[in-house]
Structure 1
Amino acid sequence: MLATFKPGNGITLTISSNAEKISLVCEALHALCLYASGSPACALEVQHAAVEALNNVIIHAYHNQPNHEIIVRWSQEERLLRIEIIDTGTSMTFLPEPLLPDFAKEGSRGWWIINACVDDYYYQTIGQSEQAPLLRPGEKYPAIAALTAQPHQNILTFMKRF
């Protein structure tokens, strides 16, 4: 894991798309959020959301292929924590509705957990010849799939108030 700090920009953590690296970056996020907010509950909720999002990046954006870069940016403004998870893998065409799936069904609880842990989140794909709009849960943008062959970044942004 690589960590950098730039005044005004917060802290940037960089890991490879290996599942065992998720705990490192999420422990660091927990510590940063606890320091900023003074709230163990707030720090834990951000940590849970980040674990789910990073797992999704590794599984769905990078298709379980190791050694792709994932960037996590943490910043704080007044009483607001902002976490950005950035990858260059396969883009999402929509954000799933944060509904709790049937308990008998395996998986698909990640977005429900993310929604329960943060105050707001959105997704954007940038850097393509045509810029995709900001996506919020339930919104679709079918053209993203056709644009993913060009250089791009996917950015999932969480916000948590404390």
Structure 2
Amino acid sequence: MKSNQINLTFSSIAENVGIARLLIASVGAQLDLPLNDIEELKVAVSEAVSNAIIHGYHNIPNNLVYLDLDITGTTLRIVVKDRGCGISDVEQAMQPAFSTDPERMGLGFVFMQSFMDELQVESVLEEGTTVTMIKQFKQTPISSH
């Protein structure tokens, strides 16, 4: 069974959301996913990374966000981790339209849930949050040219 792992660690600044999106888009393209699926992956990843930066670290730039991708067989596993303030009530945070920031729509987790096959959020106050997203995809036969 073919497997691939990619680990990216980057500063908690908004510009890096775009880099995370580019990475997941190129991985999606390599897996030959439909464009629609790639768009959904980009939204899910950028929401998770934005949450880490905006909520986990309160936009303080000198922190690190960890993005780990694991592709094994037909499973894509995406883990976004921060060592920020944590979420006091994960269940509440995952409710549609809940946000601690009045400027935000509070739909990040909703998008992640609807675009991914599985979503797990683990958080410990003052230790950080880990968001694990799993997407199943069809194995594309490798064409023999």
Answer whether TM exceeds 0.5 for this pair: yes
In structure 2, the partner of 1:77 is 72
In structure 1, the partner of 2:119 is 121
Q: Distance in 2 between matches of 1:62 and 1:23?
A: 18
1:147-162 counterparts in 2 under 5 A? Answer: 148=126, 152-162=127-137
Q: Distance in 1 between matches of 2:53 and 2:119?
A: 19
Structure 1 unaligned segments of length 5 or more: list them. 1-6, 126-143
Q: Relative to structure 1, is the Cα distance of residues 82 and 62 closer, same or farther in structure 2, using a 3 angstrom cutoff?
A: same
**TM-score under structure 2 length normalisation:** 0.78
**TM-score under structure 1 length normalisation:** 0.71
Question: Which digits, 9 at most, give the CA deviation of each residue in 1:85-135, with x for residues without a partner?
Answer: 01110111314335367xxx952121211112111111224xxxxxxxxxx
1:58-69 counterparts in 2 under 5 A? Answer: 58-69=53-64
In structure 2, the partner of 1:10 is 5
Confirm whether residue 27 of structure 1 aligns to residue 27 of structure 2: no
Aligned structure 1 segments of 4 or more residues deviating by more than 4 angstroms: none
Q: Distance in 1 between matches of 2:84 and 2:104?
A: 24
* Partner SS for 2:70: strand
* Partner SS for 1:64: coil
Q: Relative to structure 1, is the Cα distance of residues 11 and 44 closer, same or farther in structure 2, using a 3 angstrom cutoff?
A: same
Q: Distance in 2 between matches of 1:154 and 1:109?
A: 17
Q: Relative to structure 1, is the Cα distance of residues 98 and 37 closer, same or farther in structure 2, using a 3 angstrom cutoff?
A: farther
CA RMSD of aligned residues (A): 2.2
Q: Relative to structure 1, is the Cα distance of residues 90 and 106 closer, same or farther in structure 2, using a 3 angstrom cutoff?
A: closer
CA contact (8 A) 2:7 2:67 kept: yes
Question: Which digits, 9 at most, give the CA deviation of each residue in 1:48-85, with x for residues without a partner?
Answer: 10111111111111001002111100111111110000
Q: Distance in 2 between matches of 1:8 and 1:80?
A: 9
Structure 2 unaligned segments of length 5 or more: list them. 138-145
